[in-house]
Amino acid sequence: MLLGRSANEDGDAGIDYDTLVVAAGARHAYFGHDEWETLAPGLKTLEDATEIRARILTAFEAAEVEPDPDRRRAWLTFVVVGSGPTGVEMAGQIAEIAHETLRRDFRNIDPSGATILLVEAADRVLTGFPERLSARAARALERLGVTPVFDRAVVDLDSRSVTVQAPEGGVERIPARTAIWAAGVRASSLAGMLGEVTDASVDRAGRVAVGPDLTLPAHPEVFALGDMVQVHDAQGHPQPLPGVAPTAMQEGRYAAKAIRARLKGSVRPPFRYIDKGNVATIGRLKAVVDLKGLRLSGTLAWLAYLFVHLFYLVGLQNRLLVFIRWSASFLTRGRGARLITGQGPHTQLPGTHAEPISRQAEPERRTDREQAVAGGR
Ligand SMILES: Cc1cc2nc3c(=O)[nH]c(=O)nc-3n(C[C@H](O)[C@H](O)[C@H](O)COP(=O)(O)OP(=O)(O)OC[C@H]3O[C@@H](n4cnc5c(N)ncnc54)[C@H](O)[C@@H]3O)c2cc1C
Ligand 1 and 25: CB distance under 6 A:
yes
Same domain membership, residue 149 and residue 195: no
Tell me what pLDDT residue 58 has: 96
In a domain, 130, yes or no: yes
Domain final position from 185, 205, 224 = 185
Specify the ligand 1 atom closest to the Cα of 252. 25
Measured in angstroms, how far is the CA atom of residue 373 from the centroid of ligand 1?
31
Distance 25 CA to ligand 1 centre (A): 5
Share of the chain above pLDDT 70, in %: 85
What is residue 195's predicted lDDT score, i.e. its pLDDT?
Answer: 96
> Relative to the CA of 248, which ligand 1 atom is closest?
23
Q: Inform me whether the pLDDT recorded for 354 exceeds 60.
A: no
Point out the residues that are catalytic.
89
Residue nearest to atom 36 of ligand 1 (CA): 24
Is the beta carbon of 227 within 6 A of some atom in ligand 1? yes
- Work out the pLDDT band at 103, boundaries 50, 70, 90: confident
Under the phi-then-psi rule, with left for phi > 0, alpha for psi from -120 to 50, and beta for the rest, what region is 277?
Answer: left
Decide if 172 is inside a domain: yes
Same domain, 42 and 171: yes
CA-CA-CA-CA torsion sign (146, 149, 153, 158): negative
User: In the predicted model, what is the mean pLDDT of the chain?
Assistant: 87
d(CA 125, CA 149): 9
Q: pLDDT confidence of 9, banded at 50, 70, 90?
A: low
Which CATH number characterizes residue 218's domain?
3.50.50.60
Contact between 214 and 225 (Cβ < 8 Å): yes
- Spatial separation of the C-alpha atoms in residues 367 and 352, rounded to whole Å: 9
Q: How far apart are CA 21 and CA 127, in angstroms?
A: 32
User: Please, which residues have CB within 8 angstroms of residue 251's CB and are 6 or more apart in sequence?
Assistant: 23, 214, 225, 226, 229, 231, 271
Whether 142 and 194 share a structural domain: no
- pLDDT score recorded for residue 276: 87
Domain boundary among 210, 235, 263: 263
Which of 86, 241, 253 has the most ligand 1 atoms within 8 A of CB, as the residue to mutate? 86
Whether residue 282 sits in one domain with residue 247: no
Min mean pLDDT across 132-136, 251-255, 346-350 is at: 346-350
Question: What mean pLDDT do residues 26-46 have?
Answer: 93
Q: Does 354 sit in the ligand 1 pocket, CB within 6 Å?
A: no
In a shared domain, residues 249 and 153: no
Closest C-alpha residue for ligand 1 atom 21 = 245
CA of 62 to the centre of ligand 1 (A): 33
User: Does residue 160's CB lie within 6 angstroms of at least one atom of ligand 1?
Assistant: no
Domain harbouring 172, CATH code: 3.50.50.100
For residue 360, being part of any structural domain is answered with no
Residue nearest to atom 39 of ligand 1 (CA): 24
Residue 39 lies in a domain: yes
The Cα 312–Cα 150 span in angstroms is 33
Range of the domain at 300: 278-332
How many Å apart are CA 332 and CA 172, to the nearest integer?
40
Does one domain contain both 149 and 208? no
Q: Which atom of ligand 1 is nearest to the CA of 228?
A: 26
Is the domain of 248 the same as that of 308?
Answer: no
Instruction: Please tell me whether residues 165 and 300 are part of one structural domain.
Output: no
- The reply to whether 154 and 295 lie within a common domain is no
pLDDT at 364: 38
SS3 content of the chain, % helix, strand, coil (to 5): 35, 20, 40
Alpha carbon distance 212, 236 (integer Å): 9
Q: What is the pLDDT of residues 43-101, one digit of tens each?
A: 999 999 999 999 999 999 999 999 999 999 999 999 999 999 999 999 999 999 999 98
Q: Which of 293, 314, 332 finishes a domain?
A: 332
pLDDT tier at 352 (50, 70, 90 boundaries)?
A: very low
Q: What is the largest CA-CA distance in the chain?
A: 78
- For the cut 90, the answer to whether the pLDDT of residue 210 exceeds it is yes
Q: Is 361 in the pocket of ligand 1 (CB under 6 A)?
A: no
108 — pLDDT class (breaks 50, 70, 90): very high
Which of the 8 DSSP states describes residue 181?
A: E
Provide the number of structural domains found in the chain: 3
For residues 268 and 257, the answer to whether their CB atoms sit within 8 Å is yes
Give this prediction's pTM: 0.83
